[in-house]
Structure 1
Amino acid sequence: MTARPGVNIVPIHGKSPQIHDSAFIAPGCTIIGDVTIGAESSIWYNCVLRADVSRIVIGERSNVQDGSILHCDPPRPGDPDGSPLIIGDDVLIGHMAMIHGCTIHDRGFVGLGAIAMNKSVIGSDAMLAAGAMLTEGKVMEPRMLWAGRPAKPLRELNDAAIAGMRMGTAHYVENGRAHAAAVAAALGDPA
């Protein structure tokens, strides 16, 4: 695994984070336990990913923006699987989001400051609006926009909105590369 200056990588309970070499992890992040981060994904400044009681899986080209908190829940009586946090490919998670024990399918979008709770599901190409709270067990269908506290469906997303989300994903892959180079240069590393 590539060295990650300024990143706190913490093994716990015999599990260590598994981070693809091409992923950008910004200084100031803390990544704990059973976390898997896929190729070309990016975890931005001051995020916490804590997989001490279950697992967190992040696919390829997904991004978790500055100050976001990701966690999961352990198995319990009547719930032998617990609530792992599973994030697909090409997912956008906005700044200061709280993502807890849910599933976000490929190309899902979580807006700034939004909350997604245990066993909720964000479908492919769906968007949870900024500031929204997706309560436990709620399921967003593909291509739907949900908003509010608690979040409720507003409308289906049109092709332009879907294209905009895909452009955002591509931007974060490129921006992650630029920040990786800038961090390496700032630390005097020729990488």
Structure 2
Amino acid sequence: MIKNLLVKLRAARKSAQPPLNTPFFEKHTKHRNLMPLYDLWPIHGKAFISPSASIIGEVKIGPECGIYNGVVIRGDINSVTILDSTYICPNTVIHTAASLPTGTTAEVNIGLNCLIGSRCTLYSCTIDDFVHVGAGSVILEGARLEKGCMIGPGSVVPPGRLIPSKQLWAGNPVRYVKDLYEPEEINFGDTLALEMFNAEKYLMQFEEFGHAHMYDS
């Protein structure tokens, strides 16, 4: 009798279920920082792309770039091109419109040796070489930042606005502040050199022998 009761209890007992937040129940099982969209594949040279960044669709990233934590680059509507030695700081979003009312290209093009600060939004704009965009800035569709200019932190560049070369603009909407001279350019060059050093250091962690062994006990 006891044996029959144990058999019935085993039959009635449900197997333990894993918690609902386990990968078995998730629709998307893991984060992919390089995600193709149809036949559009992100392409990058020897660049550091943080594991928490999301690069989607038609995106081209040149060598020696740094794409840091939480950055989202969406090449799902039009393409995004980032040339060599440009650094996109954490939590910046880069995306594109389908078209612009002016008839100009709705792509995002970022030149050589640029620094885009944290928490910025870049939307279908063109940024020439050696441009520094301050943290928290918004660059809207059709805007163009010419070579060597600087945008102050928290600024908004309206649609279609042209920022001339080697000038500092800031505010919401941006206004002219001053011309930039050699000391500011030297300081910006030092900042870029530091970012390049950091990007190379981070990239080494993904090679066959990283730095973790240095701290083994």
- 1:91 aligns to what? 114
Q: TM (normalized to structure 2)?
A: 0.79
Q: Report what 2:196 is aligned to.
A: 173
Counterpart of 1:64, as a letter, is: I
Question: Do the aligned residues in 1 keep the contact of 2:86 with 2:114 (CA within 8 Å)?
Answer: yes
- Aligned residues of 1:96 and 1:113 also touching (Cα < 8 A): yes
Provide the secondary structure at the position in 1 that maps to 2:148: coil
Q: Deviations over 1:113-171 (max 9, x none)?
A: 01101110111110010000001000000001000000111110121111111111121
2:94 corresponding residue in structure 1 = 70
Aligned to 2:56: 32
Partner Cα distance (2:162, 2:169) in 1: 10
Q: What residue ranges of structure 2 are gaps of 5+ in the alignment?
A: 1-30
- Seen in structure 2, the aligned counterparts of structure 1 residues 23 and 7 have a Cα distance that, compared at 3 Å, is farther
- Structure 1, gaps ≥5 residues long: 1-5
Match of 1:10 in 2: 35
Instruction: Describe the SS at the equivalent of 2:187.
Output: helix
Larger Rg: 2
SS in 2 for 1:90: coil
Partners of 1:113 and 1:145 lie apart in 2 by 16
Q: Distance in 1 between matches of 2:86 and 2:64?
A: 7
- Aligned counterpart, 2:130: 107
Give me the TM-score of the superposition, normalised by structure 1. Answer: 0.89
Q: Which has the higher contact order (CA 8 A, sep 6+)?
A: 1
1: CA distance, partners of 2:55 / 2:115:
18
Q: Higher strand proportion, which one?
A: 1
Deviation at 1:186, TM superposition (A): 7.2
How many pairs does the alignment contain? 182
Q: Alignment RMSD, CA only?
A: 2.0
Distance 1:71 1:114 in 2: 14
d(CA) in 1 for partners of 2:103, 2:65: 30
Deviations 1:13-39 (A, max 9, x none): 42100111x100011000001100001
SS at match of 1:170: helix
After the TM superposition, list the runs of 4 or more consecutive aligned residues in structure 1 that deviate by more than 4 angstroms: 78-82
Equivalent position amino acid for 2:111 in 1:
G
Q: Deviations over 1:155-191 (max 9, x none)?
A: 1012111111111112111110111224553789xxx
> Shift of the alpha carbon at 1:79?
5.4
